[in-house]
Amino acid sequence: MTASTTAERAVIAKRVDSGTADTEEITDLARAAGYEAVGEVTQKRTEDPAYHLGEGKVARLANVVAREGATAVIFDNELGPYQTYNIGNELPDGVQVVDRFRLILEIFGQRAQTRKAQLQVELAELRYELPRAEAKASLAKRDERPGFMGLGEYDESREEDIKKQISRIRDELASIEETEQHRRQQRRESGFDLVALAGYTNAGKSTLLRRVADDVDVDENEELHPDLDPTAESEDRLFTTLGTTTRRADMDQRDVLVTDTVGFISDLPHWLVESFKSTLDAVYRADLVLLVVDVSEPVEEIREKLVTSHDTLYERNEAPIVTVLNKTDTVDDAEIERKRAALSGLAPNPIAVSAKEGANVDALLDRIHDELPDYERERLVLPMTDETMSLVSWIHDHAHVDNVDYGDQVIVEFEGRSAVVERSRAKAGELVEASA
């Protein structure tokens, strides 16, 4: 079943240990998967080992499902296999029980268009299934009851099959990453700085990419966001794509490529983040990361997202991180300043913009220029040959040339990325040696 074929009616359920159960995000996720939320049931209590919710609340849930004609119950919690089975037994026939992470995997599966994205979804699904297969195997061996608790026939080879598939997918993803790393290196050698957009879903990353991007699509083989198509509007929708989209930034100062990546989601388990880490390599291997947040959200929510984002990014990222307070068109200046002060410990010197309206985007481009690694200056003295003219032309294409003096020798003064300078020196050395 794929929820995107029809808008299925779903009841949202959530349990919290304390406080108030906020169902806004899970409702958005359900909508992103193609469900229509027609009711909700929440509870504040410790987790029930058998039903997750209390038995009385499960009965209440069954009544709401029947009353609303729902075909699914979506939990904003992680359910164990036996909890899922027990809850399903209390609901009308044919009603699905979908926990938070199964829902996210549904969304990922619907949006995966590239081979890399499809592999990452498959890997996440297998990691989701593995502990359930292990639990089934353990109980079947202990109780000698195939199909224990209605979980299906026990197949002792299933656990091994999953592990072998995980290993195969990891190998294929490693091969894809090697190719992408080679592409990134080629771009650097061509004089490009690499900037990555990171942040939670619906923070406005894709809209910001549209705002700063030149018209040129850098790589036609990379997956293009639907909202980057000139005929499309940016959508208030989670997970427009699982792929990365890279565009040339519209900057005079230097050549920059900006890559948009899949948005973060709160409360993701380690196994799910790990499955998509190759998508985040575009962030980890960038020269600069723009961490985009929605400034209209409550300050505590922004703070929590910044902490989680920093934990994810600083694990492997060495590039500087600039926080971008987006959607300034939705709040007044006083609120922006209040939140800027409240978040100063996590986001020192952030830059506030409205990607939707284009406000302060020029200042953001200037900030990108300032934060990127400094260009190296070089002065080459070359023999007057046809090969030298080709090298000078190459330097013009990949660096910023300050001056070229044509006389008995060619003297070229320029500045550029270290990779470009090093390559220029190597070529210059070959030319000097050949003319000696």
Q: Is 164 annotated as a binding residue?
A: no
Q: Is 206 annotated as a binding residue?
A: yes
The H or E element spanning position 365 is helix 361-371
Q: Is 328 annotated as a binding residue?
A: yes
Q: Is 405 annotated as a binding residue?
A: no
Q: Which amino acid is at 46?
A: T
Cα of 25 vs its chain's centroid, Å: 17
Q: Is 199 annotated as a binding residue?
A: yes
The H or E element spanning position 376 is strand 376-383
SS3 232: coil
Q: Is 360 annotated as a binding residue?
A: no
SS3 168: helix
Q: Is 356 annotated as a binding residue?
A: yes
Q: Is 202 annotated as a binding residue?
A: yes
Q: Is 260 annotated as a binding residue?
A: yes
Structure tokens, 366: 């200037």
Q: Is 435 annotated as a binding residue?
A: no
Q: Is 355 annotated as a binding residue?
A: yes
Inter-residue contact 32 to 6 (CB < 8 Å): no
Nearest to 12 by CA among 50, 46, 53, 49: 53
Contacts 24+ apart (CB under 8 A), 171-179: 172/119, 173/116, 173/119, 173/120, 173/123, 173/278, 176/115, 176/116, 176/119, 176/278, 177/278, 177/281
Q: Is 201 annotated as a binding residue?
A: yes
Inter-residue contact 100 to 75 (CB < 8 Å): yes
Q: Is 329 annotated as a binding residue?
A: yes
Q: Is 261 annotated as a binding residue?
A: yes
Q: Is 403 annotated as a binding residue?
A: no
Strand partners for 96:
72
Binding site members for GTP: 199-206, 260-263, 326-329, 354-356
Binding site members: 199-206, 241, 260-263, 326-329, 354-356
Binding site members for Mg(2+): 206, 241
